[in-house]
Structure formats: structure tokens, C-alpha cells
Amino acid sequence: MSITVKLLQYTPEPEKVVSAAAKLCYSSSGVEDILDGLTEEKTEKFLAMLMDMGHESPIEHVSFTFGIEGVSRSLLAQITRHRIASYSVKSQRYVKEGQFEYIVPPEIESIPEAKELYIKAMNDDQKTYNELSGILFNKHYDRLIAEGKNEKDAKRTAEKQAIEDARFVLPNACETKMVVTMNARSLMNFFKHRCCMRAQWEIRELSSQMLMLVKEVAPTLFKYAGPGCVHGKCPEGSMSCGKAAEMKKLYK
């Protein structure tokens, strides 16, 4: 299963909006005429000035919303560490994993005996999840009927209560889907950390796809986006991957 990323929505004319915010900071313009005269050339000039000055607050005024699928619950734990963002994630509490999809790490995929063992573990997890769900469902259903619930309501409630506990046996490999919204400044930080070679392979692939999508709609704004080594010294210090030249070539 491969990662799928779609840019669902974004602030219209994002670079113009950021430039307008910068213009308000550095000129006598008022809100009535703040967008006047913002040609493509002047917009690029304002953005270049912001990047050179390190004045990043104006880029918070634009946001980007992504639809993401084909990623693991392991990745979910990493991406939600980027707290200035909004996340909506497929719920394992409300959605029964009748036959859960899962992510196979490339290193495991490349070794036949490792892949065989991995797939067996996934199948065992599915079997255990199904058995637990069934046992818990029967217990909750019988209790709810005894309490006077009608059959339809008892089934619906019993299933929810069953899967919210049965999900504890599901693996980090379990595939999930999400909608993620970040403002441009948060995205810059996200790309800096997650496009880095030291980031885990899955979130690095995701961040690279997201970066390509935003560059299509805001190329000047994200001109210098990417891992920290692309436009400066590697921030990882002694933990550097040693591939700064390769990364510069890739992202430039």
C-alpha cells in the first residue's frame, strides 16, 4: 500500500495574502487598499524580504488542507507531535476493522522470510481482533437486552462498546486515513524536520509529497522549504546524516 496525498483546499491566492500582511507591517497602507498594486513581481519581492528577514508571522495567514491515506498508526503518532495543526482521523473506536489494511516497511518487504513472518503477525492480529470483538459483543448485547434495550439499539451499542476495547490489539502497522490542516509557518517547520534524512522513512515520504503539492500553488512561498540543510548548515550537528550535498541537489 502506497501513501496517497491530495491537497483538498488552501487559502486562495496564498502568496498574495501573505504579501498583503507584510505590506501592512511595512507601509502606510490601510485595509481598504492593502491588495492594491500587488503584482506578481511585488508579491515575490515582499515574500523574498520576509524570508531574508526571518519574519515568519505573516505566513501564518494562509493554510493548506490535505487528505492523506495509506499511512500507518505509527505515522499518526509522529505527525500529531506537530501541534499547531488540525487533525481528523479515521476512528478505530467507531469504525470496525473488518479486515484491516496495513503498511509493510520497505526493509521487511525486501526480505522474504521477514515479510512472511510480518504477514503472519498481521493475520494473527486480525484473528484475535475478530474473536475479541465477538466475545465482547455477545456480553454487551446480552446485558443491554436484559436492561430493556430493543434489538436494533442493543446491537448498535454492543458493537461500539466491543470494538473500542478490541482495538487495543491492533498493530501500529494498521492503515489509517486523515485530514490535516496546517498554516504555512507550521508547514515550513514540518518540512524542516520531516523531509530530513534522519526522519523515519514513512513520514519523510509523506512530507515530501506534501511539499511538492504546496509548491505547485505557492512556489515562491515554499521556495526555500525542505530539510534544514538545504539552505544553511545542517541543524543536526553530530547527528547529521552526512548527505547535505545530496539533499541540496534534491530539493533545489
Distances (CA, A) of 229 to 189, 195, 208: 13, 10, 15
- B/e letters for 81-117, b = 16+ CB within 10 Å, e = fewer, are ebeebeeeebebeeebbeebebbbbeebeeeeeeeee
Task: Tell me whether residue 73 is one of the annotated catalytic residues.
Answer: no
Q: Which of 143, 194, 198, 204 is catalytic?
A: 194
> Phi then psi for 176, rounded to 5 degrees?
-140, 170
Contact predicate 198/241, CB 8 Å: yes
CA distance 149 to 144: 6
Query: Hey, which residues are catalytic here?
Result: 194
